[in-house]
A = this chain, B = another copy of it.
Amino acid sequence: MKVTLPPALRDEIEQLHEDYAETMDHLDIKAWPSYFTDDCLYLVTSRENHDAGLPHGTIYCEGLAMVRDRAAATLDCTVFEPRHLRHFIGRPKVDAIDGDLVRTRASVLVMESVSDKEPHVLIVGQYHDVLRRGPDGLKFKERRVVYDNYRIVNSLVFPV
């Protein structure tokens, strides 16, 4: 089950995690789709659903077009209170390397700060990722954000 990870690959995965986190923490939603492959899956779901094999997603995007649509909707249509996110990501664990695909997981804590309230836990859980190497480096073929928390406080405006 455990895969020995070449240090250069670990470094590359950690860098990807941090670049993604930095992009989202700057609410740079326009850059968000650039992290995904054309045939990607982006899913935010509860641990309860994930463990039961249920497909429901708090956010569900199948394919890059849906990711772009979500980004456009967030930027142009959604009305929400201003907020800031801050991601904290654990050391990545690699479950398998299959050809150009890398299956990894990492713990994630996303804190959300809004005005007039104390910062709260937006998401605490784990990323379940499938990465594919392409000409621009590693991209997410799948990013499943599986959250432990019982519910999302208020709403999930930005992707995490």
B-contacting residues of A (Cβ < 8 Å)? 2, 7, 11, 14-15, 17-19, 21-22, 25, 47, 84, 86-91, 93, 105, 107, 109, 111, 113-121, 124-126, 148-150, 153
Contact = CB atoms under 8 A, between A and B. Distances in A.
A47 to B, nearest CB: 6
Contact of A86 (B7, B93, B107, B120): B107
Interface of A is mostly: mixed
A111 B124 contact: yes
A118 B116 CA distance: 19
A90 B18 contact: yes
Minimum-distance CB pairs A-B, first 10:
A113-B148, A84-B148, A111-B124, A18-B91, A119-B149, A119-B121, A115-B150, A119-B124, A113-B149, A86-B124
